[in-house]
Amino acid sequence: MSDTTSKSEELFRLYEELSDASADLEPEDLAEQKSLDAIFAASQWQLMWRKFKRNKVAIAGGIVVLLFYLGALLAGFIAPYTLESRFVKYIHMPPQRVRFFNNGKLQPHVCSVDLTIDENLRKHYTPDCTERFPLQFFAHGEPYKLLGLIDTDVHLFQVPDGIVSLLGTDRQGRDMFSRILYGSQISLTIGLLGVLMSLLFGSVLGVISGYYGGWIDDLMQRLIELVRSFPAIPLWMALSAAVPPHWPPLRTYFAVTLILSLIGWTWLARQLRGKVLSLRHEDFVLAAKMTGATDAWIIFRHLIPATFSHIIVVSTLAMPSMILSETALSFLGLGLRPPITSWGVLLKEVQNIQSIALYPWVFTPALAIAILILAFNFLGDGLRDAADPYTV
Amino acid sequence: MLAYIGRRILGMIPTLFIVSVITFIIIQLPPGDFFTTRAIEAAMSGGGQDKETVKTMQERYGLDKPLYVQYWRWVSGFPRGDFGYSLEWNSPVLPIVLQRMGYTLQVGGLSLLFMVAVAIPIGIYSATHQYSFGDHALSLIGFLGLSLPGFLLALLWMFLGIIVLRIPVGGEISKGMADQPWNLAKILDYLNHLWPPAVILGLASTAQLQRIMRGNLLDVMGQQFITTARAKGLKEKKVVNKYGVRAAINPLISVMAMEIPKIISESTIVGIVMSVPTTGPLLLRALLTQDMYLAGTFLLFMTLLLMIANLLADIALAWADPRIVYT
């Protein structure tokens, strides 16, 4: 009974979706072909986009991810201070509240902060709203390089005579908001770079393995099995411990990325091998062979593009674990170290549980990580559903 | 079946050999060795060791020999149960490693139990109440569990425990209990310290398992033998539990097997954060001080544990699903 109702529901949904999709068409298109031909003639990418668009959660995840990357790109501009700007007078200051109205006028501002030290030598910051510092937008502040190229000192907002700290300050009086933004530059790119590197190894080796089969496939599979027989985190720990501490920051950064992708590629290779195994006997591959195409041509012009949607999905889903692994390693003090500042490095500074209790805002990098990872997972899930546009 | 198991165990030996070589290379990678690291540490704190002492020590422990000689010295001890000597702890490596592995196994086993006990009922509920409020809420919680890394959860738990609940968290056992003989109170205290890391470790995998259980059961419930069972007039409860769940649960065994490596791997970092005596804290310390035999043996044993877990999972799958042919 419930089975038939669910079937009819499904058909109804399908019908609705199809008519929805036709409603998306331009009026003139609609006039041209009132039938649903457009749907069946649509390219795979159009179908995927259509399906993805309907998944609101995935769209929201995508937007959050984009915002994070935008923030990383424009970190210098959005952050009011630089990574190492210190305010010795404001150590472990709690987040300030931005007040929007001043005497009924719209004027975003922060209040001045009074510091008292009690008998236990604990610092207490209390906002003192007799003195107000309006936020000045697009104001001059500390110099930085926009996008790493253009010398400038214009920041999104500044408080010239006081301090503005949206997320509080750390034990050296550095602004957490600015540090999280700068940290995102490292954390987000290491995910991207790590996935790209695993993609490079994984897609080439996986596709070759699936395409040729035979002893090449066997060898590749044994290699993958060998790499995967190690427990990931301990192996990462051991490899990161081998990165000499005196290496320059950039080299350490690349070394850690390489270490992370050392295991990541096996997963990608397996996924793509399976995909290629099923594509290998498709007619279009046979046709290409008949016309005398070389293997390299077939692999790079036919097989890899055919698995492209799959590659995108798999790499989106691989991003969170890449970012998390870097965070975990840096958190243990094995990955990146200052002066390179990633979210993991920021978290390492608060390893002490007591300091989380006293100054919870120093834990905000964890919040940033959690939000980003969640957004990435939603996005990846939506992409995965969309990548298979023929299922309803 | 026995022949299959035997073949699998024999097949592990060459892999273990290659793993031991790779492990040895990795632990030799950092520049310097235990004694130079210690000399630098001593120099930083104002003391000092002259080059002669360092050199004598290196000679005594054979650290000046070429790599392959050192490797052979390490490996040739394996059959005798000699996995090298921990320079930092002044003791053979094996008992230290075994003790830590034992604790890791306890935590890991408990988190597997937790996984099964929580994920399967939730998965069944979600599948039988598809798109209901409960299904959505549980899926969301599962998604959160999947997204939050173990060490963040561990930190959060420590924070909650110390600040909000004001109970002692972390560690293997309460301070006052450590020296007492084993009695009921001590066992309870021990268990009280065992479950938090187990739950934290199992949470991500639970979410994964729950999603797969839901998907599987939904798939199975659409099949014809279910319709037949319903047509026969069986109670819905019986249709779900006796027909649906039984068929849907088989693939879970391999999923669980895939989660075991994650648990073993994560247990290191959760152990470090919560300061429970899993392999993690000691491995980290050994890596940092370049106590190479200890670090290497840890890596080797964890790899071995992974292989055994995979083997057990394959056997369990073959046992549970008569359709699987093992060769």
Q: Which domains does chain B have, with CATH numbers?
A: 101-282 (1.10.3720.10)
| Residue A290: per-residue pLDDT | 86
| Residue B168: per-residue pLDDT | 63
Q: HSE (CB half, 13 Å, CA atoms) of B170?
A: 20
Residue B163 near chain A (CB below 8 Å): yes
Cα(B150)–Cα(A43) distance, integer angstroms: 41
Q: Would you say residue B125 has pLDDT above 80?
A: yes
Residue B326 near chain A (CB below 8 Å): no
Nearest-by-CA chain A residue for B157 = A353
SS3 A318: helix
Cβ of B283 within 8 Å of Cβ of A237? The answer is: yes
Mean pLDDT of B73-91: 80
What is the least distance, in Å, from the CA of B65 to any CA of chain A?
Answer: 20
Answer for the pair B316, B253: CB distance below 8 angstroms, yes or no.
yes
| Residue A1: per-residue pLDDT | 44
Cα(A261)–Cα(B109) distance, integer angstroms: 29
Cβ of B283 within 8 Å of Cβ of A242? The answer is: no
Q: Would you say residue B311 has pLDDT above 60?
A: yes
| Residue A64: per-residue pLDDT | 92
Give which of A8, A28, A30 is closest to A20, Cα–Cα: A30
> Chain A to chain B, count of Cβ pairs less than 8 Å apart?
107
Determine the Cα angle at B65 with ends B64 and B71, to 5°. 120
Q: Write the burial class of residue A127 (CB in 10 Å: 0-12 exposed, 13-18 middle, 19+ buried).
A: middle
Which residues from chain B sit within 8 angstroms of residue A231, using beta carbons?
A: 261, 264-265, 268, 299, 302-303, 305-306
SS3 A144: strand
Mean pLDDT, chain B, as a whole number? 81
Which residues from chain A sit within 8 angstroms of residue B147, using beta carbons?
A: 320, 370, 373-374, 377
Which residues from chain B sit within 8 angstroms of residue A332, using beta carbons?
A: 269, 272, 284
Token pair 């199975």 is at which residue?
B220
Residue B31 near chain A (CB below 8 Å): yes
Residue B19 near chain A (CB below 8 Å): yes
| Residue A146: per-residue pLDDT | 75
Cβ of B148 within 8 Å of Cβ of A370? The answer is: yes
Mean pLDDT of B136-149: 81
Cβ of B265 within 8 Å of Cβ of A234? The answer is: yes
Residue B82 CB coordination number (10 Å): 15
Cβ of A356 within 8 Å of Cβ of B269? The answer is: no
Cβ of A229 within 8 Å of Cβ of B295? The answer is: no
Residue A245 near chain B (CB below 8 Å): no
Query: Directed axis angle between helix B93-128 and helix B279-289, to 10°?
Result: 130
Higher pLDDT, B174 or A74: A74
Determine the Cα angle at A159 with ends A156 and A162, to 5°. 155
**pLDDT band, very low/low/confident/very high, at B279 (cuts 50, 70, 90):** confident
Cα(A125)–Cα(A168) distance, integer angstroms: 11
Cα(A363)–Cα(A381) distance, integer angstroms: 28
| Residue A392: per-residue pLDDT | 42
Answer for the pair B240, B307: CB distance below 8 angstroms, yes or no.
no
**pLDDT band, very low/low/confident/very high, at B49 (cuts 50, 70, 90):** low
| Distant-in-sequence, close-in-space partners of A373: CB < 8 Å, separation ≥ 6 | A320, A323, A324, B147, B148, B149
Residue B87 CB coordination number (10 Å): 22
Which residues from chain B sit within 8 angstroms of residue A356, using beta carbons?
A: 155, 159, 163
Show which of residues 177-236 on chain B sit within 8 Å of chain A, judged by CB atoms: 222, 227, 230
Q: Quick: pLDDT tens for B5-28.
A: 888 888 888 888 888 888 888 888
Residue B116 near chain A (CB below 8 Å): no
First to last CA, chain A: 22
Q: Would you say residue B54 has pLDDT above 50?
A: yes
What is the least distance, in Å, from the CA of A371 to any CA of chain B?
Answer: 9
pTM, entire model: 0.79
Determine the Cα angle at A187 with ends A181 and A188, to 5°. 85
| Residue A36: per-residue pLDDT | 57
| Residue A111: per-residue pLDDT | 76
Q: Quick: pLDDT tens for A275-325.
A: 787 787 788 888 888 888 888 888 888 877 777 777 888 888 888 888 888
Q: Would you say residue B267 has pLDDT above 80?
A: yes
Of B15, B227, B305, the CB nearest to A3: B227
Q: Quick: pLDDT tens for B190-240.
A: 887 888 888 888 888 888 888 888 888 888 888 888 889 889 988 888 888
* Average pLDDT, 10 consecutive residues per value, chain A (392 residues): 59 67 57 56 73 82 91 83 78 77 75 77 76 76 75 77 77 84 88 88 83 84 84 86 82 87 84 80 84 84 79 84 86 81 84 72 84 86 72 46
| Residue A69: per-residue pLDDT | 92
Residue A223 near chain B (CB below 8 Å): no
